[in-house]
Amino acid sequence: MKEQLIQYLAVPMLQIAAIIGVMLLCVMYLVLWERKLIAFMQVRMGPMRVGYHGLLQPIADVVKLLLKEDVVPKAADRWVHLISPIILMIPALACFAVIPFTGTSFEVGAFTIPLVNYDVPALTVTSWVADLNIGLLYFLAISSLGVYGLVLAGWSSNSKYSMLGSLRSAAQMISYEVPLGLSIVAILMLSGTASLVGIVEAQQEAGHWWLFWAPLGVPLLWPQFIGLFLYFVAAVAETNRAPFDLPEAETELVAGFHTEYSGMKFAFMFLAEYLNMILAALIVSVLFLGGWLPVTFGIPGLSELFGNFLPFLGGAGAAITGFFWLALKVFLVLTVYLWLRATFPRYRYDQLMSLGWKWLIPMGLAHVMVTALFMLLRG
Amino acid sequence: MPIPAGSHEPDPDTGEHEMAAYFPVLLFLLVGLSFPIITLFIAWLVRPNRPNDVKSSVYECGIEPETPAWTRVSVRFYIIAVLFVIFDVETIFLFPWAVKYGVLGLFGFIEMSIFLLILVVGYIYAWRKGALQWA
């Protein structure tokens, strides 16, 4: 009984607390990094006042949002207005349950909690909360629930801008769900499993990232580049980010679905958007870029060299090195995300729809069949 | 024998613990639900609340809204929703096939080619009928 309590309650709760804490911190500094990077690209300075080069700006922002008055329009549906940010937050957080952050488990020896004299047996703590054999399906299923939050937020505000924004976002998110699903079918074929841990282990076994899968041995003929491109474009559209930020196009819709939101409720919609960005970057890193495997993985000699920075810590050193490589990949993918915003102008709505339905879906279907054919040719 | 937390591999003999692997996921959903509720409650305690008529009117560039926003919407959105259901079910149908593709080999390839061919015929039909055309 005691063992089960520790295995299924105490350890997962600590993991969840750690993941949520770290991810909230990541979102805070991702916002600052976005403002700094875009300022740099536009030859500005960005936040400079709060702390050294604006380093304390995110904390000031959180305090400000917490103390803001919550303005709800009289004509709005109060209850739906209140629950829609919560509906947005649940999937954005729950998706992290299946993400493997590093491959090596932490070994924790038996110890006694002081004061209460509670004996804790030896533990093996993994970096993921749950390794489901349907991990990728779980991610797709849960992350697509976020669209309910957007639709209800726009509808409950009883404002024309919110309503238009939420209609647009609903149509956009369900349209890009299809290419998103198609782009990862090839990864499932290559890995032979839908578990995210299994996908990284399959890449480890294959000796290269899935991105550099060369079926015919021809240099630079890497079909998964199409998969990465499809996934990335669809993920940018799914998270309503520029150049597909039609649902909150400020030049036409004020702020889209969150026009009538303020204070902490607005903060949660903002938080959910950035959590979804981090999730998309994590999934790109795990599926295509080898997850926790080192950046030099696949290059003879170098992959062992960068596999463990802290060999004197043993398994924990390898785990920390894995964290580092995954964090580096996620950081680079997110930087490209922000770079897109600084570079591309916003799409028109009919262009967005025809890109999704007339280009990405045929490309996705062709990508699946081409990968299947290559796998067959290789035997 | 250390307790393997997180790696919820089912017992090879009894198949035990299979559903138990989902318990931490349920915990995560519950924490995901309670985190925003608790934070909103804290914000409710500390924030000011001074509503007035102008502040709590719906934003419409400073003009009084004449009609509520809850009106009928363009039929385009419904067409997109129907198309989504067709294509998303098809994508989900590809998933189990893809996981087992390495085992199925040529048989799987031919079978999925036929399935996708039928789908592509439907796709071309929808395109020709203008269902994919916005505006």
Predicted structure pTM score = 0.88
Flag whether residue A141 sits within 8 Å of chain B, measured between CB atoms: no
**Domain range enclosing A166:** 73-100+132-378
Amino acid at A210: W
Contact A375 B101 (CB under 8 A): yes
Residue A283 maps to a domain: yes
**Nearest-CB residue to B135 (from A85, A350, A369):** A350
The pLDDT tens digits of the residues spanning A313-363 come to: 777 778 888 888 899 999 999 999 899 988 988 888 888 888 888 899 999
ipTM score of complex: 0.83
Number of independent structural domains in chain A: 1
Contact B91 A185 (CB under 8 A): yes
Residues of chain B with C-beta less than 8 angstroms from the C-beta of A91: 32
- The answer, yes or no, to whether residue A374 has pLDDT greater than 80, is yes
> What is the per-residue pLDDT for A282?
93
Q: What is the 3-state secondary structure (H, E, C) of A234-276?
A: HHHHHCCCCCCCHHHCHHHHCCHHHCCCCHHHHHHHHHHHHHH
- Nearest chain A residue to B45 by CA distance is A67
Residue A30 maps to a domain: no
- Nearest chain B residue to A372 by CA distance is B109
User: What is the C-alpha separation between A166 and A255, in angstroms, rounded?
Assistant: 11
> What is the per-residue pLDDT for A210?
84
> What is the per-residue pLDDT for A169?
86
**Nearest-CB residue to A74 (from B42, B56, B83):** B56
User: How would DSSP label each residue in A270-299?
Assistant: HHHHHHHHHHHHHHHHHHTS-TTS-TTTTS
User: What is the C-alpha separation between A320 and A305, in angstroms, rounded?
Assistant: 15
Residue A106 maps to a domain: no
Low-confidence ranges of chain B (pLDDT < 50): 1-8
Flag whether residue A159 sits within 8 Å of chain B, measured between CB atoms: yes
Residue A335 maps to a domain: yes
- The answer, yes or no, to whether residue A10 has pLDDT greater than 70, is yes
- The answer, yes or no, to whether residue A283 has pLDDT greater than 90, is yes
Residue A48 maps to a domain: no
Residue A52 maps to a domain: no
> What is the per-residue pLDDT for B5?
47
Rg (CA), chain A: 22
Residue A183 maps to a domain: yes
* Cβ contacts of B15 within 8 Å, gap of 6 or more: none
Q: Quick one: tokens of B104?
A: 């199925």
A106-108 and A123-125: which strand pairing?
Answer: antiparallel
- Nearest chain B residue to A121 by CA distance is B2
> What is the per-residue pLDDT for A54?
83
Residues of chain A with C-beta less than 8 angstroms from the C-beta of B92: 137, 181
The pLDDT tens digits of the residues spanning A185-237 come to: 989 988 888 888 888 888 888 888 888 887 777 777 788 888 899 999 999 99
> What is the per-residue pLDDT for B7?
46
**Per-residue burial over B4-41, b = 16 or more CB atoms within 10 Å of its CB, e = otherwise:** ebbebeeeeeeeeeeeebebbbebbbebbbebbeebbe
Residue A337 maps to a domain: yes
Query: What percentage of chain A has pLDDT greater than the value 90?
Result: 23
CA angle, B94 as apex, A191 and A172 as ends, to 5°? 105
Shortest Cα distance, chain B CAs vs residue A305, angstroms: 27
> What is the per-residue pLDDT for B8?
43
Q: Quick one: tokens of A277?
A: 């960005």
